Structure 1
């Protein structure tokens, strides 16, 4: 015989003892706007009234409108260890990139699954290990594990983006015919799957390569002017770039019109390049910041302290920006630029 479970008539303590419910809604929003995302995440579980505000899309938009004027560097650090591996994210001001004043969020990973992360998009970031994928907010430490990519092939390339028309984030996974890629080799894509956050499933789409429209979910073939695989954002436009030469010369091919397949070429010489770099390291052009500065970073390890080269094209001034030395052991790390902090909670 089944027994009925009596539910407690006691009201949710978050409602009864919620001091924020007594405050005007505008004041609550103003309080939240002054807090870092990590603190907002904690308040969501402390106050039911604040939780309703925090989960509202309008608050997320308002918060991100403000944080977009204060872009940050996001440093992903993968700590190693025999018993535990930790993915740690450091968020630093782009104006004053110092570890003495930064936000730090840690996320414990499966010890046997080091994730490879894509650049953050509007506050969220996507990580992949084989067919396992996760999407999360590095500013709050909240991550969701997505359903496995359905494929029997080993080679997978993944991309993460935002559809502004439908206000959704999407993950694109392409399975490739050859499992191991070498520089200069051709990548042949066979299967294409799209995952939209909140839809809880992968969808197979028909397509050819190379550009992918996140809104229409269609591919368009774009013929490259040169066989160069390095793609960057150059002042808001797609560009491919050569590796910097010893004297700091970089060649860029900029896509002016995707429909007409029109490209323009720009050559840049970074002043004082040889005085700023370490000749024992290779460098790559990372693209432009929202401020218009061109960023170059070393890609060979180890690099400690972490640094990059910033070039102001208008003023023709280049400088070396040093980030203080990491005081923790690490296996790998990556720097992402123009990161916009968000209080958004990911939902399946």
Structure 2
């Protein structure tokens, strides 16, 4: 009995000590919520697929990940790791693959398997040509253009620009001041129309163009100006070729005469200036010896072009496997990127570094598609960045 009383007294004493120690502990402090800008900074470092998953967590996260400042920050982060975008037709469907654009100097490239991005449903986006990637968006060059964001897998179809059965060539441009995308179409009856994206219902309006012209194969958008090669057309018009300059913001045209062969040439962004790059023989094959680069220095009062010739190294002819290469563009590191024109084995991408005078060849394989879609025309697009903005 006394033993049990002693045990009870000890337990009572212990309980009092526990209560006393608990009462002396400081009250619990609730931490403040993480600021939105910290959340946005963290999300900007995630892969695109993880961003998509995070949008499904809560309404708050979904709202944060739709903000314009998050989209702009993600584009800024993504721009330091640009990608090559490959697209071709397979069984009537346009398929898109991508891979990192910058080369790793410590890595050998025997064969690269690009990442599968997405595909259009059969019958959509089946045109043979595609506009260059601008801030992660691409546009098909068809009578009914398709705008696509390969990062999100979304796409939208634009209405036909003309009511007549005229063929039209679309060009995708971006206005950095208004932060809007616009599509310019040039039809074969020399009528130009423009449409602004993201303003609700997509409509076309006619824009004045003083010189009738036929749009040609290459274009580039630099600092809000869309440049493309064209041929002068119409009665009473002096024949010849020119570079058409379309200011995306003001929707006005300017024209630059070019007195050079344009076969095999490409318009490029050379350190923020317009450049025309062309091979010495008009075509690119193992016998090509050099590339000529003309850069627009000033087009306000007088058109001036600088002229530089880059001679290929002696081992160039051993690096090339095909005679059907074309100029895909130029990277910010001063690398001319050449690509095979059709899906043949081996499909290759070649980097010619004009600074170091080196040539690196990369063999690309698309897996089983290589054998099931032989001789499909492949477009290699440079400077593609990941854009997480959704098409609403």
- Scaled by the length of structure 1, the TM-score of the pair is 0.80
Q: For the structure 1 residues 292 and 276, does the alpha-carbon distance in structure 2 shift closer, same or farther, using more than 3 Å as the test?
A: same
Equivalent residue for 1:309, pick from 336, 344, 350: 350
Q: Does 1:87 align with 2:94?
A: yes
- 1:192 is displaced (CA, Å) by 0.7
Structure 2 unaligned segments of length 5 or more: list them. Answer: 1-32, 212-243, 282-286
Q: Which residue of 2 aligns with 1:218?
A: 252
Equivalent residue for 2:139, pick from 117, 126, 132: 126
Distance in 2 (CA, whole Å) between partners of 1:124 and 1:287 is 17
Equivalent residue for 2:308, pick from 266, 270, 274: 266
Q: For the structure 1 residues 161 and 138, does the alpha-carbon distance in structure 2 shift closer, same or farther, using more than 3 Å as the test?
A: same
Moved more, 327-336 or 119-128: 327-336
Does the Cα contact within 8 Å between 1:208 and 1:221 map onto a contact in 2? no
Q: Does 1:40 align with 2:75?
A: no
Q: Which residue of 2 aligns with 1:3?
A: none
Q: Which residue of 2 aligns with 1:176?
A: 188
Q: For the structure 1 residues 143 and 46, does the alpha-carbon distance in structure 2 shift closer, same or farther, using more than 3 Å as the test?
A: farther
What is the CA deviation profile of residues 292-330 of structure 1, one whole-angstrom value per residue up to 9, with x for unaligned ones?
A: 21222233x343232122112222211212223432233
Moved more, 261-270 or 24-33: 24-33
Equivalent residue for 1:335, pick from 342, 357, 380: 380
- 1:173 is displaced (CA, Å) by 0.3
Q: Which residue of 2 aligns with 1:58?
A: 69
Does the Cα contact within 8 Å between 2:117 and 2:151 map onto a contact in 1? yes
Q: For the structure 1 residues 26 and 99, does the alpha-carbon distance in structure 2 shift closer, same or farther, using more than 3 Å as the test?
A: farther
Q: Which residue of 1 aligns with 2:390?
A: 345
Secondary structure in 2 matching 1:117: coil
Q: Which residue of 1 aligns with 2:361?
A: 320
Q: For the structure 1 residues 137 and 234, does the alpha-carbon distance in structure 2 shift closer, same or farther, using more than 3 Å as the test?
A: closer
- Scaled by the length of structure 2, the TM-score of the pair is 0.71
- 1:142 is displaced (CA, Å) by 0.7
Q: For the structure 1 residues 53 and 216, does the alpha-carbon distance in structure 2 shift closer, same or farther, using more than 3 Å as the test?
A: same
Q: Does 1:282 align with 2:310?
A: no
Distance in 2 (CA, whole Å) between partners of 1:275 and 1:195 is 47
Q: Which residue of 2 aligns with 1:147?
A: 159
Equivalent residue for 1:202, pick from 201, 204, 224: 204
Q: For the structure 1 residues 238 and 30, does the alpha-carbon distance in structure 2 shift closer, same or farther, using more than 3 Å as the test?
A: closer
Does the Cα contact within 8 Å between 2:93 and 2:126 map onto a contact in 1? no
Q: Does 1:28 align with 2:30?
A: no
Does the Cα contact within 8 Å between 2:348 and 2:363 map onto a contact in 1? yes
- 1:92 is displaced (CA, Å) by 0.9
Q: For the structure 1 residues 282 and 51, does the alpha-carbon distance in structure 2 shift closer, same or farther, using more than 3 Å as the test?
A: same
Which structure is richer in relative contact order (CA contacts within 8 A, separation 6 or more)? Answer: 1
Does the Cα contact within 8 Å between 2:350 and 2:362 map onto a contact in 1? yes
What is the CA deviation profile of residues 13-34 of structure 1, one whole-angstrom value per residue up to 9, with x for unaligned ones?
A: xxxxxxxxx7653453244223
- 1:269 is displaced (CA, Å) by 1.4
Q: For the structure 1 residues 46 and 128, does the alpha-carbon distance in structure 2 shift closer, same or farther, using more than 3 Å as the test?
A: farther
Q: For the structure 1 residues 108 and 315, does the alpha-carbon distance in structure 2 shift closer, same or farther, using more than 3 Å as the test?
A: closer
Distance in 2 (CA, whole Å) between partners of 1:316 and 1:222 is 31
Q: Which residue of 2 aligns with 1:192?
A: 192
- 1:256 is displaced (CA, Å) by 1.6
What is the total number of aligned residue pairs between the two structures?
Answer: 307
Does the Cα contact within 8 Å between 2:142 and 2:170 map onto a contact in 1? no
Distance in 2 (CA, whole Å) between partners of 1:26 and 1:305 is 47
Does the Cα contact within 8 Å between 2:125 and 2:142 map onto a contact in 1? yes
Distance in 1 (CA, whole Å) between partners of 2:137 and 2:391 is 9
Q: For the structure 1 residues 232 and 326, does the alpha-carbon distance in structure 2 shift closer, same or farther, using more than 3 Å as the test?
A: farther
Distance in 2 (CA, whole Å) between partners of 1:125 and 1:166 is 19
Q: For the structure 1 residues 251 and 99, does the alpha-carbon distance in structure 2 shift closer, same or farther, using more than 3 Å as the test?
A: closer
Distance in 1 (CA, whole Å) between partners of 2:112 and 2:349 is 15
Does the Cα contact within 8 Å between 1:228 and 1:241 map onto a contact in 2? no
